[in-house]
Amino acid sequence: MKKGDLVKGRVMSIKSYGAFVKINDEFDGLVHISEISDGFVRSISDFINVGDVVDLVVLSVNKDNKISLSFKRAQLNHKKKYQQIELKSGFQPLGDKLPEWIAEYSKEE
- Residue 1 domain flag: no
- Residue 68 domain flag: yes
What are the pLDDT digits (tens) for 19-28?
999 998 888 9
Q: Is 75 exposed, middle or buried (0-12, 13-18, 19+ CB in 10 A)?
A: middle
pLDDT for the residue numbered 86: 67
- Residue 42 domain flag: yes
CA 35-39-81 angle, to 5 degrees, is 80
Give the CATH number of the domain where residue 65 resides: 2.40.50.140
pLDDT for the residue numbered 59: 93
Instruction: With cut-offs at 50, 70 and 90, classify the pLDDT of residue 91.
Output: confident
- Residue 44 domain flag: yes
Q: State the average pLDDT for the chain.
A: 85
Give me the domain span that covers residue 37.
Answer: 6-108
Instruction: Note the pTM of the prediction, 2 decimals.
Output: 0.66
CA 33, CA 35: separation in Å to the nearest integer?
5
pLDDT for the residue numbered 95: 80
Total domain count, the chain? 1
